[in-house]
Amino acid sequence: MNNALREIFAKQGRMAQALDGLSDDADLFAAGLDSLAIVNVMLAVEDRFDVEIPDEYLNRATFSSIAALASVLHKLQAEQAST
Amino acid sequence: MSTATPLGPAEVLPGATSCRDDWAARAAAIAEVAARHAQDVDREGRFPAEAVQAMRDSGLLAAWVPQSLGGPGLSLRQIAAMCAQIGGACGASGMIFAMHQIKLSSIVHHAGSSPWYQALQKRVVAEALLLGSVTSEVGVGGDIRRSLTHVVRDGDRFKLDKHGSVVSYGAYADALLITARADEQAPPNGQVMVTVLKDQYQLEKTGSWDAMGMRGTCSDAFMIRSEGACEQIFEAPFAEIIANTMLPVSHILWSSVWFGIAHSALLRARTHLRSVMKQSGGQLPAAATRLPDLVARVQVLHARLLSAATRFEATMAAGQGALPMSLTTDLTLLKSTMSEGCLAVVQEALTTVGFAGYKTEGAASLGRHLRDLHSAPLMINNARLIETMSSFLLMDPLQFGLA
């Protein structure tokens, strides 16, 4: 999943800095993630993983790193699987 | 160039802590001083020194500082009410008060645990320091999320030079909060914020404000050369400060100042209509029929501002860290709605009052209100906000609960 998210951020995030040298935990906003591009990242993620990210996760923290977004997606997938 | 008086000894102002209880009366006293000098401040484009001295004497410059540090620890809505009251008396004085409080909120909420910033907060209480802001920069225009200049660290010291394009009351502040890239390698939005004290910077004035309105804010352009200790650099990245505190508080307190100006225009229109009615022997003036619409507009703006401030205050009290995006979007929309709505109210008040409002002098004069409020759509230009809002509203739940 992390590699897929990395691709999405690289494509949609309008990053000021290349993602290649960054760890999954790196702060993407500090690396120049454009906050306006979050909506593009969100739409791409929802499309790729067939989930809907609920409002309580729509904040900067969710999109602040690959690991943070992956952890939210794991949680959502687990919730969907149990319903 | 700088006409601010040097700081006196750190004596505790008599009002600093007790103003928690009678803040409203103290704000009214500031507004009274601001109103008395508003016309001269506007005409001369001079710093509202009398009103700012009244702010210092009141203890209210420390409004945000928590009681644990000796401050009054007033709430956002109480501070918003003061901004509206002072702004209604003199737009420039209200905006200076608001901008100072916005800076202070960043310190209280993002540097509270740092010993240097705790000491600074105590000094704001004891010495009524006035905090200024250098977020704009020559070369990036109004996009405060990007910086060209960067902090230069050398051991535990730093140097920072910045060419600020619009530095409100820069020459009169006791300390400046400056944004810059964290280091030479940082991207344009990899910013930090730094506080420097008056004896740590030199100002070279490079451009004059002399603007259409908000003339007393004296928002000149300055080349700023500063140095200090690295503990003066906020540990939290600027992106976090602006998202969680500075942007929401700015939009709410600016809106409060604008609302105060619009409300003042409404009161002037009503006073004028009353006097016309008296002169005409009790005949309802034709223009009075505009009053219901005018009041209704003010009511809508008031409700909008109050609901946004209440929602943000509740979120802050819950203390969950990152602000939900829907709230950020809501507060951005608040800024654009209030800036245009308050301006429209004054325009409508002018139509209601007629030439008595068009004249520069007199109790019904509305020129200063109108000119001051023309700055509102430009402070973080609404045109720039449209893209942000359009994008974020696509992610918004768009819920409007009533119960």
Q: Which of A24-33, B95-104, B229-238 has the lowest mean pLDDT?
A: A24-33
Q: How confident is the model at residue A16 (pLDDT cuts 50, 70, 90)?
A: low
pLDDT band of B1, cuts 50, 70, 90: very low
d(CA B132, CA B4): 13
User: What does the DSSP assignment read for B299-342?
Assistant: HHHHHHHHHHHHHHHHHHHHT-SSPBHHHHHHHHHHHHHHHHHH
Q: What is the pLDDT of residues B196-243, one digit of tens each?
A: 999 999 999 999 999 999 999 999 999 999 999 999 999 999 988 998
Out of A51-65, B259-273, B293-307, least confident range: A51-65
Find, among B41, B43, B174, the residue nearest to B95 by Cα.
B41
Average pLDDT of the segment spanning B138-144: 86
Report d(CA B380, CA B375) in Å as an integer. Answer: 10
Cβ–Cβ contact B8 with A under 8 A: no
- ipTM, interface predicted TM-score of the complex: 0.74
pTM of the model: 0.91
Give me the pLDDT at residue B141, please: 73
Determine the Cα–Cα distance for residues B27 and B351; give it in Å rounded to an integer: 31
Name the residue with higher pLDDT: B107 or B21: B107
pLDDT at residue B5, as a whole number:
39
Q: Which residue of A has its CA nearest to B236?
A: A30
For residue A55, give the nearest of B243, B323, B397 by CB distance: B397
Q: What is the CATH number of domain B18-129?
A: 1.10.540.10
Q: Where are the domains of chain B?
A: 18-129, 134-232, 238-393
Residue B31 CA to residue B26 CA, distance in Å, equals 9
- Give the nearest partner residue to B391 out of A39, A55, A60, using CB atoms: A39
User: pLDDT band for position B6 (50/70/90)?
Assistant: very low
Band of pLDDT at residue B265, cut at 50, 70 and 90: very high
Tens of pLDDT, residue by residue over B354-365, are 999 999 989 999
Q: What is the pLDDT of residue B10?
A: 42
- Which CATH number does the domain housing residue A15 bear? 1.10.1200.10
| Enclosing H/E stretch for B224 | strand B220-229
pLDDT bracket for residue B392 (50, 70, 90): confident
Mean pLDDT, range B48-62, rounded to an integer: 97
Domain that holds residue A41: 2-82
B357-364 contacts, C-beta under 8 A, 24 or more apart: B357/B268, B357/B269, B357/B272, B361/B39, B363/B268, B363/B271, B363/B272, B364/B268, B364/B269, B364/B271, B364/B272
Choose, out of B395, B398, B400, the residue to mutate when testing the contact with A (most A CBs < 10 Å): B395
pLDDT at A60: 80
Q: How confident is the model at residue B306 (pLDDT cuts 50, 70, 90)?
A: very high
Best to test chain B binding among A35, A40, A41, A64 (most B CBs inside 10 Å): A35
Domain B238-393 belongs to what topology? Butyryl-CoA Dehydrogenase, subunit A; domain 3 (1.20.140)
What is the 3-state secondary structure of A50-76?
CCCCCHHHCEHHHHCCHHHHHHHHHHH
Nearest chain A CA: its distance from B184 CA (Å): 14
B387 pLDDT above the threshold of 90: no
What is the predicted pLDDT for the residue at B320?
A: 65
Cβ pair B167, B134 in contact under 8 A: yes
Share of chain B above pLDDT 70, in %: 95
pLDDT tops 70 at residue B12: no
B325 contacts in A (CB within 8 Å)? 38, 58-60
pLDDT digits (tens, 9 = 90+) for B280-293: 999 999 999 999 99
**Which pLDDT score is estimated for B195?**
98
pLDDT at B254: 98
What's the domain count of chain A?
1
With CB atoms and an 8 Å threshold, state whether A17 touches B189.
Answer: no
- Per DSSP, the residues of B194-221 read EEEEGGGEEEEEEE----SS-GGG--EE
* pLDDT at residue B16 greater than cutoff 70: no
CATH class for domain B134-232? Answer: mainly beta
In Å, what is the CA distance from B251 to each residue of B4, B75, B84, B86? 28, 16, 13, 17
Cβ–Cβ of B190/A32 closer than 8 Å?
Answer: yes
* Residues B323, A60: C-beta atoms closer than 8 Å: yes
